[in-house]
Structure 1
Amino acid sequence: MSAPTPHSPPSSAPPPVSSGAAAPARRESPWRQVARDFAQSKGALVGLAVLVVLIAAALAAPWITPQNPYDLAQLDVMDARLAPGSANGAATLTYWLGTDGQGRDLLSAIVYGLRISLGVGVGSALAAGILGTLLGLVAAYAGGKVDAFVMRVVDLLLSFPSILVAMMILAYVGKGIGNVVLTLIVLEWAYFARTARAQALVESRREYVEAARCQAIPGWRIVVGHILPNCLPPLIVVGSLQVARAITLEATLSFLGLGVPVTEPSLGLLIANGYQTMLSGEYWISVYPGLALLAAVVAINLVGDRLRDVFNPRNQK
């Protein structure tokens, strides 16, 4: 009888991995996932493309427009209210969209008007977002009388029609782009404050905030480093929608004669300069600036609505 073969000790080497085994999938970053979800909406992509074109045209206005509406030497009253496709008296310039009542090339005036509208909209929304977010976070974290005071001011501002409050403020401080921006900041910060406070109240009850408090981390560091980053998604959505709202309010105020001065080629002023002559056949003075304003507002709203859907927790898997 042969002797039993001794058992060999178990090998510590891991089992061989077949060449066809799949590598573990890399975790997708949140912002990359947001971009992928955003791209699933064709309407949002169209709105984003239109918005990029309008912003690029506004930034490149001095180089792409055939005329500078601010240069009085290039204006001729004899060229006022020319139909689209007409040429100036010297036949050196073609007015593809016609001219307004001051003899300005309407295409150039619209592009420069977009600079005012987008600048006022983005500038006021950004400043209002910073102010409103700061006050909302302070109100949520401090609580008590601070929270009550801030929210009562927010409720007071939101209880009145925005256009009425804007007209009252501008009637007191006067016209001007700076005054319009300040007025829009007063009207918009309440929306950011309410959103930031509501989101901060939710985040302040999370375990990571309690852990930070147990480590004796200062309150301002908890707010800035822990709560604020998790409040950004809804604030981005509010900001995009407030830009469109600010552009519409600026155009309305300029149309009523309370916005920017008459020397500025604002879209609202361009519409106001031509609406009285639309029935006489000079439709282009109001229609083309109105279409540019409509394109900007609709494009921003399409992007904002898609961002709201993407950041909605109910739609996230």
Structure 2
Amino acid sequence: MRSYLDFEKPVAELEAKVEELKAIGENRDAVSITDDISRLEAKASDALRDLYGKLTPWQKTLVARHPQRPHFVDYCAGLITDFTPLAGDRKFAEDEAIVGGFGRFRGQAVCVMGQEKGHNTETRIRHNFGMARPEGYRKAVRLMELADRFELPVLSFVDTAGAYPGIEAEERGQAEAIARSTEMQLSLGVPNVSLVIGEGGSGGAIAIATANKVLMLEHAIYSVISPEGAASILWRDAGKAQDAATNMKITAQDLLRLGIIDGIVTEPMGGAHRDPQAAIEAAGNAIEEALTDLGNMGPAELRDHRAEKFLNIGRKL
């Protein structure tokens, strides 16, 4: 069953009427209502197009967090064949907030990792809502070290509100683990491409998004802190999250203009949750194009390209 966001109510009402008419039409004795259904479907489609053509930053935040939006496991299943997951950081424990391993992307051997939020109560608890502890980032470092050794490109999928802020995570070196993961990405002698598929929050995101090419889905968000967190700090009122979202420039469109990201992947009309397979296919095409662009670079050139990219952020404004 499709879940609607609050601002989608006009579309929800039209689509509900379409479903009602279709149910009536299944009755053989009912008068033909095909024309009415077609008219309402066209009206609903137009309403959806108009709505998503002018989303506010806060509305994009809600879309990025939509519970039916495809998550990392969906992208992995749709794009990666022969996937072999690796578990544990070889230091403390396994952290399922970050899932990673090796497989083939359109015939090419790759290392792939991503933050997984989970789809239901059970999986959300198991994956800790995509908020990794230090061992998750240390597992990411372990994977990247192997990828670098065997000269395999690294693909990362970002979808987290941020790193886990619990006391035990801080006790085990959360900040150091994030820094090590970021450092490892900067030192890679192989191409790495990162795609923000939902939320890209704080250091928890940058730890696996320090890539040669950083892409975002059309309605994803990427920021140093959540809108609610920023509102709590700036105004001591989480209720002003909408104001924070507008002023923080967290949308893909703003970030591309500012030079923070390298490209935007177009989503199906109404968001990736309306047609997950189309969104996954579009993401795969964008990743393939990015890997092709980086394919002729040697290790030193890739490191220089990556360093220059991040050092230049903010210098051209």
TM-score interval, smaller chain: under 0.3
* More helix per residue: 1
TM-score of the pair, normalised by structure 2: 0.26
Larger Rg over CA atoms:
1
* More strand per residue: 2
TM-score of the pair, normalised by structure 1: 0.26
